[in-house]
Amino acid sequence: MRCSAVLLAAGSASRMGHRPKCLLERDGQALIRRTALALLDAGIQEVVVVLGHYAHDIAPALQGLSVRTVTNPHPEQGIISSQRLGLQSIGSACDAVVMALADQPLIDAPDIAQLLGAFEQRDAGRELLFPQVQGLPGNPVVLSAAVRQAVLAESDDFGCQTWRQSHRHRVQAWASDKLHYIVDLDSQADITSVEQSFGVQLRWPAVS
């Protein structure tokens, strides 16, 4: 199975004080670089990173990696515009696309690999798979090439979630006990929670 990935990092991080949360560092490494490496190490052949707000600040964190960056010229239009740009930017030869977020501090390569394995073994007729932990939907999400084409065939306000809601019979929840899939960062309180719950320290990069 040939897999591509779209890594979303275009948001304004308004609840994080308008600082790019994907630049928070775990063990001295920016989360966006850590996530990109996890995708590559899990065997993803192509990674497209969608930047928007703070593109100039974030791009250096990806230097030297085999990823491609694209910049959403209108990130204020929301996540759908970034999803669509990412789906448009990947190569047409992929069988599946991982839609990943840049603010999940616990996601690692084994998590991605397990998710891809579940997608390969999904039930017949299912075209989108997401992890479900303790009854909660998580990320990343894996979608087939057919879903990618279907989303891009629609209008600019049509995204993956819209497809998911209107094709529930083709969506599969993959049950997992890994909390990694449901932990993300929206506020300073989330940073504190990650440290208290998992012993993972996240630090803002030093100002040069």
The predicted-structure confidence for 45-102, as pLDDT tens digits, reads as follows 999 999 999 999 999 999 999 999 999 999 999 999 999 999 999 987 899 999 999 9
pLDDT in tens, 172-184: 999 999 999 999 9
Res. 208 pLDDT band, cuts 50 70 90 = low
Q: What is the pLDDT of residue 92?
A: 74
CA distance 152 to 193: 37
pLDDT in tens, 192-201: 999 999 999 9
**For residue 151, what are the CA distances in angstroms to 17, 20, 23, 108, 146?**
32, 28, 30, 27, 9
CA distance 78 to 98: 19
CA distance 126 to 191: 35
Res. 135 pLDDT band, cuts 50 70 90 = very high
Residues 6+ apart with CB under 8 A from 126: 170, 171, 172
106 in Cβ contact with 185 (< 8 Å): no
Q: Which domains does the chain have, with CATH numbers?
A: 3-199 (3.90.550.10)
